[in-house]
């Protein structure tokens, strides 16, 4: 099956890394291998370590980049990127020159009717990026208590009706388990007041996003991984991150801002030059968005934002 994922901000994200041909790089989100391919083109004696937790992405790229893998130029790692430091240490890597993140799910995951990510296809409620993981959307929807459901819906979906949706889920699952995406869509539609149902896109969009983030602990994994990535950077090393929704973007923005701000000066003490400077600098004061041309040909690009940071 062809892996039909159109890479967003391909050149911009890699340009921010300013690749050294002999350097050590990480693609934290291999997917269809778009960013990986771009980095590989620029490496001579350097090495790229590419992570994905999804078996489909791993299999596809193992074939696509068989020559680079055989030559030792590319190492594919089938792990969650929250294990960044330990997974790289397994290969003797303790410092890197650049890391790229292109977050979320790929079009292949989203459009695979069997994976349960989309409200457009009827499937078992799954939503796992990592097929080896135990927790699925079905467990969350059927077993998590009302308060947890409400927290997930309001925090990760910024849903307008978290209480109503959580209540409706609770009522339905008392009678019979909620097994499929379409059953969940119907319950969400039932819970949302009629006038609101017609506004702001598909009524289940926000709730599906919320459950997907919870199943994959996307924000937790990102925070853990970025904390490690910042420490792994060598001097002049860079990170570029593409986000697709406001919660992720806020997290990246805050972490980068904190790292690139000078520590507070102790009152009254003499300060030596350079003593109280931040160790990192922002490469993007404002996030970079895709061009109107890119947005016109790829609707996934519409919400994308790219941020970068450099270790001094």
Ligand X SMILES: C[S@@+](CC[C@H](N)C(=O)[O-])C[C@H]1O[C@@H](n2cnc3c(N)ncnc32)[C@H](O)[C@@H]1O
Residues that constitute the known binding site for S-adenosyl-L-methionine? 33-35, 52, 81, 102, 109
- In whole angstroms, how close is the CB of 57 to ligand X at the nearest point? 4
Confirm or reject binding of residue 221 to ligand X (CB under 6 A): yes
Interface region with ligand X, contact rule CB under 6 A, candidates 78-86, 115-123, 149-157, 172-180: 78-86
- Please tell me whether residue 32 binds ligand X under the rule CB under 6 A: yes
- For the chain, give the secondary structure using H, E and C: CCCCCCCCCHHHHHHHHCCCCCCEEEECCCCCCHHHHHHHHHCCCCEEEEECCCHHHHHHHHHHCHHHHHCCCEEEECCCHHHHHHHHHCCCCCCEEEEEEECCCCHHHHHCCCCCCCCCCCCECCCCCCCCCCCCHHHHHHHCCHHHHHHHHHHHHCCCCHHHHHHHHHHHHHHCCCCEHHHHHHHHHHHCCHHHHCCCCCCCHHHHHHHHHHHCCHHHHHHHHHHHHHHHEEEEEEEEEEECCHHHHHHHHHHHHHHCCCCCCCCCCCCCCCCCCCCEEECCCCCECCCHHHHHHCHHHHHCEEEEEEEC
Mask of contacts with ligand X, 86-125, x by CB under 6 A? Answer: ----------------x-xxx-------------------
- Among residues 9, 14, 33, 213, which is the contact residue for ligand X, using CB under 6 A? 33
Binding-site annotation: residue ranges: 33-35, 52, 81, 102, 109
x/- string (CB under 6 A) for ligand X, residues 171-210?
A: ----------------------------------------
Residue 68 contacts ligand X per CB under 6 A: no
65-73, 75-83, 150-158, 290-298 -> range binding ligand X (CB under 6 A): 75-83
* Nearest to ligand X of 11, 312 (CB atom): 11
For ligand X, which residue of 12, 17, 35, 226 counts as binding (CB under 6 A)? 35
Give the residue with the Cβ less far from ligand X, 60 or 161: 60
**Is position 80 an interface residue for ligand X (rule: CB under 6 A)?**
yes
Residue 198 beta carbon to ligand X: minimum distance, rounded to whole angstroms: 30
Among 31, 116, 162, 308, binds ligand X (CB under 6 A): 31
266 by Cβ neighbours in 10 Å (0-12 / 13-18 / 19+) ranks as: exposed
Residues that bind ligand X (CB under 6 A): 5, 7, 29, 31-35, 51-54, 57, 80-82, 102, 104-106, 129, 221
């Amino acid at each position: 099956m062809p892996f039909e994922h159109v890479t967003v901000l391909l050149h911009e994200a890699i340009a921010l890394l300013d690749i050294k041909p002999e350097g050590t790089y990480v693609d934290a989100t291999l997917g269809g291998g778009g960013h990986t391919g771009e980095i590989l083109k620029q490496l001579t004696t350097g090495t790229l370590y590419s992570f994905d937790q999804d078996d489909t992405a791993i299999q596809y790229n193992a074939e696509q980049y068989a020559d680079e893998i055989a030559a030792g130029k590319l190492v594919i790692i089938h792990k969650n990127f929250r294990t960044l430091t330990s997974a790289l240490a397994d290969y003797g890597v303790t410092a890197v020159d650049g890391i790229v993140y292109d977050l979320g799910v790929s079009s292949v995951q989203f459009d695979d009717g069997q994976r349960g990510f989309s409200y457009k296809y009827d499937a078992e409620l799954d939503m796992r990026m990592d097929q080896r993981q135990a927790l699925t959307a079905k467990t969350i929807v059927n077993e998590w208590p009302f308060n947890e459901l409400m927290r997930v819906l309001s925090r990760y979906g910024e849903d307008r009706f978290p209480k109503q949706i959580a209540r409706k889920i609770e009522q339905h699952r008392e009678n019979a388990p909620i097994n499929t995406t379409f059953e969940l869509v119907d319950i969400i539609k039932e819970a949302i007041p009629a006038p609101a149902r017609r506004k702001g896109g598909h009524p289940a969009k926000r709730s599906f996003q919320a459950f997907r983030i919870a199943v994959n602990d996307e924000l937790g994994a990102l925070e853990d991984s970025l904390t490690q990535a910042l420490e792994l950077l060598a001097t002049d090393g860079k990170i570029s991150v593409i986000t697709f929704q406001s919660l992720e973007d806020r997290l990246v923005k805050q972490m980068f801002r904190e790292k690139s701000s000078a520590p507070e000066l102790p009152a009254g003490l003499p300060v030596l030059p350079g003593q109280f400077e931040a160790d990192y600098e922002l490469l993007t004061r404002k996030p970079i968005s895709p061009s109107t041309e890119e947005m016109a040909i790829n609707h996934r690009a519409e919400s994308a934002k790219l941020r970068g940071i450099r270790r001094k």
